[in-house]
Chains A and B, each alone.
Chain A
Amino acid sequence: MAKILLVEDNEMNRDMLSRRLERRGYEVVIAVDGQQGVAMAESESPDLILMDMSLPVIDGWEATRTIKGGMETKQIPVIALTAHAMSTDRDKAIEAGCDDYDTKPIELPRLLEKMEALLSKAS
């Protein structure tokens, strides 16, 4: 099953989403800020990254730009997750290099659909 890197600074969101994904058979590895997210994208070689945008150290936009600029990591699909829900936020995430975008509160069936679409495209 696919390995997912979840980059999320909020402890409850991290706990809740990782449990729900693990229940569906995904392997979940966790980073708690943007810098760690970039480092784990390189060290863990995940199949897909779920990236919160409002992160400490470096934010999700910068982390995504770094990941998409790295030779070893640029092919990893990134889905932006944010509690901001305006179309400008989506545009900003896509401009940073995110492959897709979803809003919190997460609707898991909708997120899983987006994840599976990107995972099947990548494989």
Chain B
Amino acid sequence: MIDDLPPEIEKRIQHLLPRDLLHDLRTPLSHILGYSELLLEQMKDAGSEEYVAHLEKIRKAGRELVDMLKDNFKSDT
């Protein structure tokens, strides 16, 4: 059945192979987590309790996404 797919569709499917998808998802996730953790450190230093609470939620959601990747793509970390 795969043989019947138009080349452009086949190319798109190949592009979404788990290894590439895993890499492509990790890059923006790195940015979201890294900057939220940097902001969290800065807000803690500044004593901004409300922002710290919000940023903890962003970080928690980001880490949950990392765990989902780990569970679904058999990565090591």
Contact = CB atoms under 8 A, between A and B. Distances in A.
Nearest to B24: A83
- Helix, strand, loop or mixed for chain B's interface? helix
B35 A16 contact: yes
A92 interface: no
B34 A85 contact: no
Nearest to B37: A108
Contacts of B19: 84, 86
A5 B26 CA distance: 22
B30 interface: yes
Q: Which size class do A's interface residues fall under? A: 20 to 34
A13 interface: yes
- The interface centre, meaning the residue of B22, B29, B38, B62 with most chain A CB atoms within 10 A of its CB, is B38
A106 interface: yes
Contact of A103 (B33, B35, B62, B76): B76
B76 A87 contact: yes
A105 B26 contact: yes
Contacts of A84: 19, 22-23
Interface of A: 10, 12-13, 16-17, 19-20, 23, 83-87, 90, 102-106, 108
